[in-house]
Amino acid sequence: MHGSTVATNAVLERKGAKVALVATRGFEDVLKIGRQTRPELYNIFVAPRPPLVEPHLTFGLAERLDATGAVLEPVVEDDVDQLARVLHDHQVDIVAVCLLHAYANPMHEQQVAHWLRQSGLTVCASHEVLPEYREYERWSTTVVNAYVTPIMSRYLLRLEEGLRTADCGPRTADRLSIMQSNGGCISAAAARAQAVRTVLSGPAAGVVGAKAVAEAAKLRRVIGFDMGGTSTDVSLIDGSIGRTTDSRVGDFPVRLPVIDIHTVGAGGGSIAYLDTGGALRVGPRSAGAAPGPVCYGVGEELTVTDANLLLGRLDPDYFLGGRMAIDRTRTERVAADLAKRARLSVPDLAEGIVRVANANMERAIRVVSVERGHDPRQCAVVAFGGAGGMHACEIAEQLQMTTVMAPRHAGVLSALGMLVADVTKDYSASVLRASAGLTLKDLECASAPLVAAAKAVLKAEGFGPSRQVITVSVDVRYVGQSFEITVPLTERYRDAFDREHGRTYGYSNPARPTEVVNVRVTATGVTAKPTLPHTRVRASYRPAPSALRPGRFGGRAVKVAFHRWDDLRPGARAAGPAVIAGGEATVVIPPRWTFTVDGFSNILASLPVR
Amino acid sequence: MVQTSNPIEFEVFKNLFLSIAEEMGVTLCRTGFSPNIKERLDYSCAVYDANGDTIAQGDHMPVHLGAMPLSVRAAIDAVAMEAGDVVMLNDPFQGGTHLPDITLVSPVFLPKDKKPSFYVANRAHHSDVGGMSPGSMPVAREIYQEGLIIPPVRLVRRGRMVDDVLALLLANVRTSDEREGDIAAQIAANRVAEQRLRDVVFRYGRAKTMRYAAALQDYTERVVRHAIKGVPDGVYTFDDALDDDGFGSGPVTIRVAITVKKDQATVDFTGSAPQVTGSVNANYAITWSACLYAFRCLVQDDVLYNAGVGRPIRVIAPEGSIVNARRPAAVAGGNVETSQRITDVVFGALGKAQPDFWPAASQGTMNNVTLGGQDPRTGRPFAYYETMGGGMGGRNNMAGLSGVHTHMSNTRNTPVEAIEHYLPVRVRRYGLRRGSAGAGAAPGGEGLVREYEMLTETSVTLLTDRRVSAPYGAQGGKPGGKGRNTLIRDGQEQPLPGKMQVTLRTGDRLRVETPGGGGYGLK
């Protein structure tokens, strides 16, 4: 199993393939125009966002379909042949074929792709990547795919080669599978063909890992809270992992199902400063690994990590398991300077920095929960990433959430996610018809070819019928709306849609006609799961702290009990304020909270309901 | 001075209030029916204090910045609101912008309140509100021709829809199903905000919430004053003109003199042309919004938008002039066209004070195209409105962006595949308009070109400017290319004026070419 950031970095660093775009003549600039908006309203010096295809590699092709897929102007083979010669002359790596209304009828794209492939070019056509309407989003997804595919393909071939030559056991290379952005995995061969599906695989693996540890600990509704050095990723797991098709990679929309992760630019390394109005701001600028927080000895600007140190929430003798020395005196000097300018005491400033960072992250949790119609109070927080455990309890309290779990191996949750991920494939097709004129049978007919394809692919990858799970769903909206809600395809899908609309937006109208925009098929090949090491908890005990140190919570100086995670046995139970320092992460338990250590050595913190 | 707030709580409350405005926007966009709302995002949402002053407004539409609080105040003045009420209005002379923009205002009562402690409001551009042409953006002589005028009235009373009012509205518009859906989405957005505000007060207490609402306004005011201090003291003048009013007025001058003194500015439009027959009259709300936008741009930090922005600024707009029209002036184009020219003159004047900072003129129009008729596929009426981006002006050391909305608008385009699916129209071409950018050390951006083919008899209304005058260059840069409208009938091309209503036949094509941005600096 393998997850990689090769594809993501190719886009972010603009180091992808040399892509040519073949578009319907008259529409060559669709990707340059985007949605004709500027990304920032009031910034006079707003920066341009150059597309991934260079201007001289964009070509218009005479052809046209209408919105029903009927041919208005056929493709001429000679035109394509001529184009193929030009594309060869330019030595492009791959050609993205993006034609209007290809979701309604793929024939023109198929013809063009076929002729170009015959000439020896590598081609990716928009209907293959995302057969859904809205040209900018479909074409953008297709071009991102083209941009990352050759690099990913080379990378995977090298990897497979390496696995073959190295002695990794029989057929390891054949069984290599790749994490996708949707939280499932696909075979290396499939990833080579549609690399865009792996673009956001890194954070996705963490969420899958968080779900696995949460389920093992019997937590069903969970908010994944992955706080790293520069940013924080927040996701919602409500029995299953929340997904979205509304995501971006860098500046570009990618409309494939991905795990719904909301990222904010606030992490342990985020820099605190005073703006011209005198407000204390934290991030999005980050000290990163270099120069790093002030307490690491080089950085000159105060960060969230420094604030945590000043508040007595880091174990100075055991930072990162004792692998890193930290300089408190230096930090106090830098903090005194900023505190003076803010007209605050150093402890007030430090606590303020943490609160401001928490407020940013709290907003991110609202986005994935409240804005999607979920009540966060019914969820537990699973905190991971280097800094997640230090902030989770206070943020939870602000949102009236009462349970926080910090998994024992927070740093390797992504790796765990990859081990437990199932093979998942998503298929979709545009329907765009009023529900009134559609029977269940019509929709089943529309989805049948997708289901058949999915089953065949799973079978080819070694999943027998007993290990296949196929779900069929439909994207529905009221006629005239532009955003759809995905509900399972059943006889009563219409009722389910009204219910979801009501839950998410506060109202619904069963009398209003609806339409079905897409059918979706998700095919899962269930893999064998490793079991997590577990000790039965026989009795609880009160652990003795390794130290008592002065700390600060809610504006008050308090004595904080410090524990070493390695020393805590399952069954340990104690009250906050406490700090549990581990080799990968630190967990902060504020006053009024209590914590226990479960059979997996996870920390489970809870707040008694008032 | 007693310290009533601290820098930390600022950030916490800023996040809270802003997220309320943003959640309203999400609800509206995802459940709206008009393409203007769901595809183009032509709406704004905000939270107000008990006086109707903005606490936080989402980054939605700049042209609504100053106009929204005026609607809230109009609603407060006209209706004694009770808990559960929703007041609806669109009257441009009572807090509206132009008639298609319908605003819903809701009071938020806290426990034991006799008067509302907060208000929430959202404004959205509806596809049609009646009047002489489909889409309600006509070339009209008076506001009565532009559509249904709604003074502040209760649409919902104590939580119950006032069916009579809704029926009256729906009877006066061309696409009533769509209107009803949009109104439901707008009500839902206000409900979301009311609930969230109550949650905040429950969590932090009434006194603290109110205190920070005020502190946030003071904070924004400080930031804006700080930015104005960076502009050298002096009097800076500039003038420019709209092409015409669609009824042969000829150029309509807008003149400004900005006086900057320490941390405040007076923006005086005395000397601008009197109001005109056609619909390019701006009401005061528009002029105020354009000035707020310009000064908000002066602040290059991401400061929260609220009432604090306006406090250091005084705007003088003579009544009865193009920048402060009196009833019954037609105003449909004031919001979309004149607002852009007001911005151009304010930017131009400030450019004399800080030539390194202010850019050349952007396209200076929104290129409003409205289509309407009867869809032969369904036999039902259709009304469709869209605006088009163009060239952004060149900036110091940075070319202008191409094919984007600039200044007072930031609405999206409607996908070609969506237009063709829902309307009897075919788009024959959509791309950048090469050669339209103004030359300069940093050139302007390119305009757009869009060509529509009518698949049935279609009423077309154009409200476009910068067809006669060109977007100015700055610091020696050349002007951007003028826009152009063309009818192609039976293979023959004929130029169309900037503002007109025309009925096109099946097979006719309309080509709209939008202006490029002016260049910055000598090449």
The pair of structure tokens assigned to B64 is: 């609504």
Sequential DSSP letters for B244-308: --SSS---EEEEEEEEEETTEEEEE-TTPPBP-SSTTPPPHHHHHHHHHHHHHHH--S-PPPSGG
| Min distance A386 CA to chain B CA atoms (Å) | 24
Tell me the per-residue pLDDT of A353-391, one tens digit each, with 9 for 90 and over.
999 999 888 888 988 887 777 888 889 999 988 889 999
Q: At residue A393, what is the residue type?
A: C
In this structure, of A244-253, A574-583, B308-317, B336-345, the range with the lowest mean pLDDT score is: A244-253
Q: Do the strands B86-89 and B54-57 form a parallel or antiparallel pair, or are they unpaired?
A: unpaired
**Residue A159 confidence (pLDDT):** 77
Q: Which residues contact A541 (CB under 8 A, 6 or more apart)?
A: A569, A571, A572, A573
- DSSP H helices, B282-415, are 284-298, 332-333, 339-353
Q: How confident is the model at residue B2 (pLDDT cuts 50, 70, 90)?
A: very low
**Could you tell me if B38 lies within 8 Å of chain A, comparing CB atoms?**
yes
A145-166 as b/e: b if 16+ CB within 10 A: bbbbbbbbbebbeebbeebeee
| Min distance A489 CA to chain B CA atoms (Å) | 21
| Min distance A334 CA to chain B CA atoms (Å) | 18
Give B-chain residues touching A510 at CB under 8 angstroms.
Answer: none
Q: At residue B135, what is the residue type?
A: G
| Min distance A522 CA to chain B CA atoms (Å) | 24
A291-315 as b/e: b if 16+ CB within 10 A: ebbbbbeebebbbbbbbbbbbbbbb
Span B105-130, average pLDDT: 94
Q: At residue A30, what is the residue type?
A: V
**Residue A507 confidence (pLDDT):** 77
**Residue A132 confidence (pLDDT):** 86
Span B314-330, average pLDDT: 97
Residue of B24, B30, B378 to mutate for A, most A C-beta atoms under 10 A: B30
**Residue A174 confidence (pLDDT):** 60
Q: Does the structure show a pLDDT above 60 at A172?
A: no
Give A-chain residues touching B263 at CB under 8 angstroms.
Answer: none
Q: How confident is the model at residue B39 (pLDDT cuts 50, 70, 90)?
A: confident
Tell me the per-residue pLDDT of A431-477, one tens digit each, with 9 for 90 and over.
888 988 899 999 999 999 999 998 998 888 888 898 899 999 999 99
Distance of CA B183 to the CA centre of its chain: 19
Please report which helix (H) or strand (E) contains residue A486, including its range. strand A485-488
Largest CA distance in chain A: 82
pLDDT > 90: what percent of chain B?
82
Location of structure tokens 């409500």: A238
- B398 CB burial (10 A radius; 0-12, 13-18, 19+): middle
Residue of A134, A375, A431, A482 to mutate for B, most B C-beta atoms under 10 A: A482
Please report which helix (H) or strand (E) contains residue B410, including its range. none
Location of structure tokens 């967990």: A587
| Min distance A587 CA to chain B CA atoms (Å) | 23
**Could you tell me if A505 lies within 8 Å of chain B, comparing CB atoms?**
yes
Q: Are A32 and B447 in contact (CB under 8 A)?
A: no
- A529 CB burial (10 A radius; 0-12, 13-18, 19+): exposed
Q: How confident is the model at residue A501 (pLDDT cuts 50, 70, 90)?
A: confident
Q: Are A563 and A543 in contact (CB under 8 A)?
A: yes
Residue of B4, B28, B31 to mutate for A, most A C-beta atoms under 10 A: B31
Question: Closest Cα to residue B76, out of B101, B51, B98?
Answer: B51
Q: Does the structure show a pLDDT above 90 at A61?
A: yes
CA distance linking residue B246 with residue B465, whole number of Å: 10
Q: Does the structure show a pLDDT above 60 at B1?
A: no
**Could you tell me if B498 lies within 8 Å of chain A, comparing CB atoms?**
no
- A298 versus B151: which is more confidently predicted? B151
pLDDT > 70: what percent of chain B?
99
Q: Are B459 and B424 in contact (CB under 8 A)?
A: no
Residue of A24, A37, A42 to mutate for B, most B C-beta atoms under 10 A: A42
pLDDT > 90: what percent of chain A?
50
Q: How confident is the model at residue A15 (pLDDT cuts 50, 70, 90)?
A: confident
Q: Does the structure show a pLDDT above 80 at B66?
A: yes
Phi, psi dihedrals of residue A27, rounded to the nearest 5°: -130, 25
Q: What is the sign of the dihedral through the CA atoms of A297, A300, A303 and A306?
A: positive
Question: Closest Cα to residue A233, out of A413, A393, A368, A415?
Answer: A368
Q: Does the structure show a pLDDT above 70 at A120?
A: yes
Q: Mark residue B79 as left, alpha or beta (left: phi above 0; alpha: psi -120 to 50; beta: remaining).
A: beta
Q: Does the structure show a pLDDT above 60 at A169?
A: no
| Candidate from A45, A352, A432 with C-beta closest to B398 | A45
Span A167-194, average pLDDT: 72
| Angle subtended by helix axes A346-368 and A385-398, to nearest 10 | 80
Question: CB–CB of B404 and A363 under 8 A?
Answer: no
Give B-chain residues touching A356 at CB under 8 angstroms.
Answer: 8, 11-12
Residue B174 CA: distances (Å) to CA of B139, B155, B373: 18, 20, 10
Q: How many CB atoms lie within 10 A of CB A189?
A: 16
Q: How confident is the model at residue B5 (pLDDT cuts 50, 70, 90)?
A: low
Question: CB–CB of A366 and B448 under 8 A?
Answer: no
Give B-chain residues touching A41 at CB under 8 angstroms.
Answer: 59, 62, 410
**Could you tell me if A279 lies within 8 Å of chain B, comparing CB atoms?**
yes
Question: Closest Cα to residue A142, out of A4, A10, A27, A23?
Answer: A23
Q: How many CB atoms lie within 10 A of CB A267?
A: 31
Give B-chain residues touching A552 at CB under 8 angstroms.
Answer: none
Q: Does the structure show a pLDDT above 90 at A321?
A: no
Q: How confident is the model at residue B193 (pLDDT cuts 50, 70, 90)?
A: very high
Looking at the DSSP bridge assignments, the partners of residue A381 are: A223, A404
Residue B466 CA: distances (Å) to CA of B330, B370, B481, B518: 20, 18, 9, 12
Question: CB–CB of A38 and B410 under 8 A?
Answer: yes
Q: Coil, strand, or helix at residue A606?
A: strand
Q: Are B430 and B416 in contact (CB under 8 A)?
A: yes
**Residue A175 confidence (pLDDT):** 63
Sequential DSSP letters for A126-177: HHHH---S-HHHHHHHHHHHHHHHHHHHHHHHHHHHHHHHTT--TTTTTT-E
Question: Closest Cα to residue A585, out of A255, A156, A227?
Answer: A227
Question: CB–CB of A28 and B431 under 8 A?
Answer: yes
Residue of B23, B378, B417 to mutate for A, most A C-beta atoms under 10 A: B417
**Residue A2 confidence (pLDDT):** 55
**Residue B64 confidence (pLDDT):** 83
By C-alpha distance, the chain B residue nearest A28 is B431
Domain ranges across chain B: 7-221, 359-523
Location of structure tokens 């892509």: A19
**Could you tell me if A483 lies within 8 Å of chain B, comparing CB atoms?**
yes
Question: CB–CB of B420 and A356 under 8 A?
Answer: no
In this structure, of A5-9, B116-120, B315-319, B492-496, the range with the lowest mean pLDDT score is: A5-9
| Candidate from A281, A432, A507 with C-beta closest to B421 | A432
| Min distance A29 CA to chain B CA atoms (Å) | 5
Q: Does the structure show a pLDDT above 90 at B320?
A: yes
CA distance linking residue A452 with residue B130, whole number of Å: 51
Q: How confident is the model at residue B491 (pLDDT cuts 50, 70, 90)?
A: very high
Q: At residue A58, what is the residue type?
A: T
**Could you tell me if B509 lies within 8 Å of chain A, comparing CB atoms?**
no
The pair of structure tokens assigned to A552 is: 């600060």
Q: What is the sign of the dihedral through the CA atoms of B82, B86, B88 and B94?
A: positive
Q: Mark residue B484 as left, alpha or beta (left: phi above 0; alpha: psi -120 to 50; beta: remaining).
A: beta
By C-alpha distance, the chain A residue nearest B27 is A505
Q: Does the structure show a pLDDT above 70 at A91?
A: yes
By C-alpha distance, the chain B residue nearest A352 is B8
| Candidate from B32, B220, B395 with C-beta closest to A44 | B395
**Residue B4 confidence (pLDDT):** 47
Span B172-199, average pLDDT: 92
Q: How confident is the model at residue A84 (pLDDT cuts 50, 70, 90)?
A: very high
ipTM here: 0.92
**Could you tell me if A512 lies within 8 Å of chain B, comparing CB atoms?**
yes
Question: CB–CB of A38 and B300 under 8 A?
Answer: no
